Amino acid sequence: MYRAKCTLLGRPLPNDELEHQRLGKPTALAVFASDALSSTAYASEEIIRALVLGGIGLAAFNFVLPITLALVAVLVILMFSYRQTIKAYPSAGGAYVVTKDNLGLLPAQFAGVALLTDYILTVSVSVSAGVAALYSAAPALHPYRVPIALFFIAIITWGNLRGVKESGKIFAAPTYFFLFSIAFMIIVGVARALTGDLHAVANETMPTVTKQAGIFLILHAFASGGAAMTGVEAISNGVPAFRPPEWKNARSTLMVMGSCLAFMFIGISWLAHIIKPIPTEDKTVLSAISTAVFGTSPLGHAIFLIIQGATMLILVLAANTAFADFPRLASFHADDAFMPKQLTKRGHRLVFSNGIIALALCAAFLVVIFSADVTHLIPLYAIGVFTSFTLSQTGMAVHHIKEKEEGWRAGLVINALGALSTGVVTIVIGVMKFMHGAWVIILLVPIMVYALMRLNKQYEHEHDELTRESREALARPVLRRHVAVVLVGDLDSSVATGIQYARSLRADGLRAVHVAIDPARADTLREQWLDLNLTKVPLDIVHCPDRRIDRALIDVVLRETAQGDTEVSVILPRLHRHRWWHQLIHDHTANAIARSLEGIEHVNVTFVPHRIAEL
Amino acid sequence: MYRAKCTLLGRPLPNDELEHQRLGKPTALAVFASDALSSTAYASEEIIRALVLGGIGLAAFNFVLPITLALVAVLVILMFSYRQTIKAYPSAGGAYVVTKDNLGLLPAQFAGVALLTDYILTVSVSVSAGVAALYSAAPALHPYRVPIALFFIAIITWGNLRGVKESGKIFAAPTYFFLFSIAFMIIVGVARALTGDLHAVANETMPTVTKQAGIFLILHAFASGGAAMTGVEAISNGVPAFRPPEWKNARSTLMVMGSCLAFMFIGISWLAHIIKPIPTEDKTVLSAISTAVFGTSPLGHAIFLIIQGATMLILVLAANTAFADFPRLASFHADDAFMPKQLTKRGHRLVFSNGIIALALCAAFLVVIFSADVTHLIPLYAIGVFTSFTLSQTGMAVHHIKEKEEGWRAGLVINALGALSTGVVTIVIGVMKFMHGAWVIILLVPIMVYALMRLNKQYEHEHDELTRESREALARPVLRRHVAVVLVGDLDSSVATGIQYARSLRADGLRAVHVAIDPARADTLREQWLDLNLTKVPLDIVHCPDRRIDRALIDVVLRETAQGDTEVSVILPRLHRHRWWHQLIHDHTANAIARSLEGIEHVNVTFVPHRIAEL
């Protein structure tokens, strides 16, 4: 098993190599930006879809660019807000830590959970959209979209389990490939438009103007475009993954990422405004733009295919941002005892393996439930990330007021503006998308936060119980009496090993117990036992017609502990096998018994292994 | 947990209630016949599809009835063959037992595995087809077909975990509802045809005759119709579920089921021959027939909807036949040590719960992988069941030759005919459907059989090892030396409980061991320990930079066992919690450690529970 793990994941990394797993700026951009950049593949389209569904005809395209610019304004505010955060929290900022520090633990749970749900959706949406791009090019793959999406998730999971540096290597090329393809398309498109060579596509079915666009329609379109902003927070959450000086490198990477995102988003929306492509079931706006810009010549078609391929790749790999951030954020929750402690453990390759696996399972679940259908996933998206933006920016504003560091007044203005604008966007998305699916998130996040609070209470309670009077407990005297009970299934050599061990305990009482489900078999066993003449180890047969062996054994041990001041050792002989599949084929009664006996004080379960020679 | 189980599944049944869980004939027909009968919903259509794809125009419909009659001839042979089997093997016949008894264990594994794969496919195909019937009526549900299919599988699983009698109650109504709906449709259709009132639907696009039908085309259509025969064996495999006299009741139920199947199959094919409906993507042949028979008046449409609903129900519930048979068949394999022993265990309600759950998981896996798409599943179907028919009938023929019971000559003729005809059908299906998916089954079955043989070898080996010299082993002397090692994480009261127990062992050596992943924490612990002045229990700190606690502990115990003749008790304090979710939030390091130490002889792991008071 371990050898297989090493083959799959690479050699194990010792603790002292943790420091060296850092990312240079170009690699960091690839790891953290793919989520944000990939959203340009569908953000303009989502705005157009919302407008076209409003039934305002071709007038819809007059609003694409203004709405895009409004969203880019929010993006610019966010970028400058997060510059503040990265500097103030260089040892890993992100919504959770910032909110906790300034607003307290409860708001931090909201910020964290909202972000975690969004990371899960990032994986499901991006992978599904990537697979959709694939089967749009190769329709024969359509029936296999769910297994293909699961395969992609598996590949990304594997890459991340191997470690963050390696995953940077895998993902750098596709991110830059997408970036340059789209930039090339925008430049060629702008050049053709300036020479008057780029025209709107024919739309016979669509009237020029049907009716006036209402404020509701424009806000709905704005909310749809909000998905473009997911992923902007990724860098602030991952500052420690940068090479020193971490905060400076993270800041400049953030500015590069934001500029690229703004350039691509405006460029695509502007081209859409010129070309006016109506979104259909089987042709995305991006692909329609690309066809219009490069034409239908063989060269144009080749470039079209390259752009489609780059889009597919970036969408599938956008999931990687979530894989970089979800486990780290979950480990923050767990460090504060608001999530299971297992999430703080570093695995074989020093990454938070449990968080990676949890994310993969949740995302795979959504992909299966929604049959990898992007349309049904999209309305759940973006609300979580804007909730965490708002809380984190509010936290930063409070931070400036409290700390009053140099330049705090400017910082306060920036972060207050950030909090206000993202707060407004959160409300807009929540209201506009409520009926389309946002209600799931609005319902789920508070429930999750409640669960985490309960969990935290339990952890605190356990910690109190364990540490209270532990010094006195360590001086407790030994109990007066010690009884050993060996569980016997059949008369075989594993039982012999168990009895041999039990006798070495020199207990005050020693006996064998057989829990009888089949009375005939019990009779045979009794006779065989008498034949053996093992006078020192009498055999008790306990009948158990309801097949609940654990309950029958509890009765047996309770009779012993009833005598008071007694320590009971229940001895379970257990076969040891060499291969993992040999373990699977035997039942796990022994484990189940150990679990049920655990509830009784001074009843201890010992597994005595009996080795079977290899075949 | 246990209380939740009782609420979900009903009160637990003790062993002596096993006998009373029997089925009356009408209920048995519903439980065992839904698979066979439901196949009439698509069998005629599959024949027509194969013929139409052959490009012979409307001439295709001339071959529907002859092919159906050929298949019904096979069905009649099968029915009489299985009458023989039921009588000869009243205590549960079925392909596995019959083949084992007469041809040996290896052919029996083939028969059994072929049948098991077919049961899994029965569940996947039937549930997917049922969901397709549902979303054909309500297209809005189409994107949710996978979760709906999984929901149906869950419901059926739940019904079966509650016990076979209850599941009979749940499934009786839909089976009879379908039976009577189709019978009504056939009678009305025949009446209208006899009065000259029923005509072929208009097929403008389809020429009357394009070319001659070749033998290959006819065989391919015949192979497609073979799916109608799946489920005929169900009764012979489940004879003990009938009320006494079991074999007589099973025989008459088989004849009723076969007659109903033949009547419905011929009726539908005959109506198809008259009406000539071309199968399309969104309209099944059965629904086209129903529309033609009942017309488009409001009453006609209502009846159409009823028939569609009945079809959906029977298809979803056909899966239940597999749930009645798969676990029983798997338990036969396991009884012979060819499958994991867990499959022989009766659960809470005396059903083979593990088999039920295994079937549900496999079928759900196929549903997810194929996105609940029937078209891609169908070619994998039927080959398995015909393989088992052939082996089982061959076995019966051998049985007659060996036993020479009264009337054995007639029986031999019947079963030899059965073996021959089903053998030919197996080859026809395998060849005709090979490229369409049958190759998966043809490849998978031998691989599975090989795996089962390996498993059996391992079980036999273990049994030999365990029983060899076990009597001598029971007299083995106690080892000279006994050392207890307490694993210490933090200085808390659970460790105190562990040390208290360890001291009660009166071992020759006792010490505490801390495996240090974080050196700073280890230093703190060392100081705290020295403060305590526990001179009887020295603390060893073992450094472990690679985070593999189990390996570090193995080194510790190996140093002890190296002294020879030593029994080591490794004592792991473990928190006991009251609620199941409290168990989930703590890691399972203790279990993992127990597993790794198991490989070393005379190293025994004791879990010392420490109870945490409830919050």
DSSP B55-97: T-GGGHHHHHHHHHHHHHHHHHHHHHHHHHHHHH-TT--HHHH
Here the tokens at position A372 are: 């990898």
Task: Supply the pLDDT for residue B270.
Answer: 94
Contact B466 A612 (CB under 8 A): yes
Counting as low any pLDDT under 70, the low residues of chain A are 1, 15-21, 92-93, 139, 164-171, 203-213, 281-282, 578-587, 615
The rounded distance, in Å, linking the Cα atoms of B341 and B459 is 10
Task: Supply the pLDDT for residue A356.
Answer: 93
Sheet holding A566-576, edge to edge: A539-543, A509-516, A481-487, A566-576, A603-611, B603-611, B566-576, B481-487, B509-516, B539-543
The alpha-carbon gap from A152 to the nearest alpha carbon of chain B, in Å, equals 14
Which chain A residues are Cβ-neighbours of B601 within 8 angstroms?
609, 611
Strand partners for B513: B487, B540
Residue with tokens 């009833």: A562
The rounded distance, in Å, linking the Cα atoms of A537 and A540 is 10
- Fold for the domain defined by A21-454: Amino acid/polyamine transporter I (1.20.1740)
The alpha-carbon gap from B299 to the nearest alpha carbon of chain A, in Å, equals 37
Residue with tokens 């739309």: A203
Task: Supply the pLDDT for residue A582.
Answer: 60
Helix (H, G, I), strand (E, B) or coil at A533: coil
Contact A604 B599 (CB under 8 A): no
The Cα-based distances of A324 to A157, A235, A238 in angstroms read 10, 10, 8
E strand or H helix that includes residue B570: strand B566-576
Contact B493 A466 (CB under 8 A): yes
Task: Supply the pLDDT for residue B245.
Answer: 86
- The percent helix, strand, coil of chain B (3-state, each to 5) is 70, 5, 25
Residue with tokens 């299906």: B429
Give me the amino acid identity at A601: E
Task: Supply the pLDDT for residue B232.
Answer: 86
Residue range(s) occupied by CATH 1.20.1740.10 in chain B? 13-321+356-452
Which of A150, A336, A375, A504 to mutate to probe the B interface, most B CBs <10 Å? Answer: A504
* Range of weakest confidence among A212-226, B74-88, B559-573: A212-226
The alpha-carbon gap from B73 to the nearest alpha carbon of chain A, in Å, equals 37
The rounded distance, in Å, linking the Cα atoms of A575 and A494 is 7
Residue range(s) occupied by CATH 1.20.1740.10 in chain A? 21-454
Instruction: Say which residues have a Cβ less than 8 Å from residue B88's Cβ, sequence separation at least 6.
Output: B98, B396, B399, B403, B405
Beta strands in B122-221 (DSSP E): none
pTM, two decimals, is: 0.73
Secondary structure letter of residue A219 according to DSSP:
H
The distance in angstroms from the start CA to the end CA of chain B is 18
Contact B503, A478 (CB under 8 A): yes
Task: Supply the pLDDT for residue A578.
Answer: 64
Question: Over 80: is that where the pLDDT of B573 sits?
Answer: yes
Secondary structure letter of residue B20 according to DSSP:
T
The Cα-based distances of B373 to A143, A294, B67, B349, B578 in angstroms read 8, 38, 26, 34, 44
**Residue B216: how many CB atoms within 10 A of its CB?**
11
Which chain A residues are Cβ-neighbours of B482 within 8 angstroms?
504-505
Identity of the residue in B462, B470, B587 whose CB atom sits nearest the CB atom of A496: B470
Task: Supply the pLDDT for residue B196.
Answer: 84
The rounded distance, in Å, linking the Cα atoms of A107 and A395 is 10
Residue with tokens 């106690």: B478
Question: Over 70: is that where the pLDDT of B581 sits?
Answer: no
Contact B357, B157 (CB under 8 A): yes
The alpha-carbon gap from A16 to the nearest alpha carbon of chain B, in Å, equals 8
pLDDT digits (tens, 9 = 90+) for B116-159: 998 999 999 899 888 877 777 776 777 788 899 999 999 889 88
Contact A609 B597 (CB under 8 A): yes
Task: Supply the pLDDT for residue A581.
Answer: 64
Contact B482 A505 (CB under 8 A): yes
Interface membership of B306 toward A (CB under 8 Å): no
Task: Supply the pLDDT for residue B1.
Answer: 66
Q: Which residue from B minimizes the CA distance to A494? A: B466
CATH of B479-611, one of 3.40.50, 3.30.420, 1.25.40, 1.10.1740: 3.40.50
Instruction: Give the CA dihedral A59, A60, A66, A69, nearest 10 degrees.
Output: -150
Contact A273, A285 (CB under 8 A): no
Identity of the residue in A462, A471, A504 whose CB atom sits nearest the CB atom of B479: A504
Q: Which residue from A minimizes the CA distance to B451? A: A581
Q: How confident is the model at residue B510 (pLDDT cuts 50, 70, 90)?
A: very high
Question: ipTM more than 0.85?
Answer: no
Average pLDDT over residues B56-79: 91
Q: Which residue from B minimizes the CA distance to A339? A: B585
Any long-range contacts for B600-603 (C-beta under 8 Å, 24+ apart)?
B600/A609, B600/B554, B600/B557, B600/B558, B600/B561, B601/A609, B601/A611, B601/B561, B602/A501, B602/B479, B602/B561, B602/B566, B602/B567, B602/B568, B603/A609, B603/B557, B603/B561, B603/B568, B603/B570
SS (H, E, C) A535-600: CCCCEEEEECCCCCHHHHHHHHHHHHHCCCCEEEEEEEEEEECCCHHHHHCCCCHHHHHHHHHCCC
- Which residues 417-456 in chain B show a CB within 8 A of chain A? 455
The alpha-carbon gap from A457 to the nearest alpha carbon of chain B, in Å, equals 9
Task: Supply the pLDDT for residue B124.
Answer: 92
CATH of B13-321+356-452, one of 3.40.50.2300, 1.20.1740.10, 3.40.50.1220, 3.40.47.10: 1.20.1740.10
- Which residues 334-373 in chain B show a CB within 8 A of chain A? 340-342, 345-346, 368-371, 373
Residue range(s) occupied by CATH 3.40.50 in chain B? 479-611
The alpha-carbon gap from A479 to the nearest alpha carbon of chain B, in Å, equals 7
The alpha-carbon gap from B227 to the nearest alpha carbon of chain A, in Å, equals 23
- Which residues 134-163 in chain A show a CB within 8 A of chain B? 143-147
- Which residues 528-547 in chain A show a CB within 8 A of chain B? 532, 534, 545-547
Contact A586 B474 (CB under 8 A): no
Measure the CA angle with vertex A118, ends A116 and A121; round to 5°. 115
Q: How confident is the model at residue B287 (pLDDT cuts 50, 70, 90)?
A: confident
Q: How confident is the model at residue B208 (pLDDT cuts 50, 70, 90)?
A: low
Instruction: Give the CA dihedral B14, B17, B23, B24, nearest 10 degrees.
Output: -150
Q: A380: closest CA among A189, A571, A230, A248?
A: A230
The Cα-based distances of B176 to A573, B27, B184, B285 in angstroms read 53, 10, 12, 21
Please tell me which residue, B281 or A387, carries the higher pLDDT value. A387
Q: Which residue from A minimizes the CA distance to B503? A: A478
Task: Supply the pLDDT for residue B449.
Answer: 93
Count of A-B CB contacts under 8 Å: 223
Secondary structure letter of residue B242 according to DSSP:
B
The distance in angstroms from the start CA to the end CA of chain A is 18
Q: How does strand A603-611 pair with strand B603-611?
A: antiparallel
Here the tokens at position A375 are: 């349309």
Average pLDDT over residues B464-488: 85
Q: How does strand A603-611 pair with strand A566-576?
A: parallel
The rounded distance, in Å, linking the Cα atoms of A557 and B212 is 81
- Which residues 581-600 in chain A show a CB within 8 A of chain B? 582, 584-587, 591, 594, 597-600
- Which residues 498-517 in chain B show a CB within 8 A of chain A? 499-501, 503-506, 517
Here the tokens at position B8 are: 């979900």
Task: Supply the pLDDT for residue A168.
Answer: 67
- Which residues 206-225 in chain B show a CB within 8 A of chain A? none
The rounded distance, in Å, linking the Cα atoms of B191 and B179 is 18
Q: Which residue from A minimizes the CA distance to B489? A: A466
Contact B615 A461 (CB under 8 A): yes
Interface membership of B461 toward A (CB under 8 Å): yes
SS (H, E, C) A308-325: HHHHHHHHHHHHHHHHHH
Contact B496 A376 (CB under 8 A): no
Report residue B476 CA to chain centroid gap: 45
Contact A271, A68 (CB under 8 A): no
Q: How confident is the model at residue B185 (pLDDT cuts 50, 70, 90)?
A: very high
Question: Over 60: is that where the pLDDT of B288 sits?
Answer: yes
A487-512 CB burial, b ≥16 within 10 A, e <16: bbbebbbbbbbbbbbbbbbebeebbb
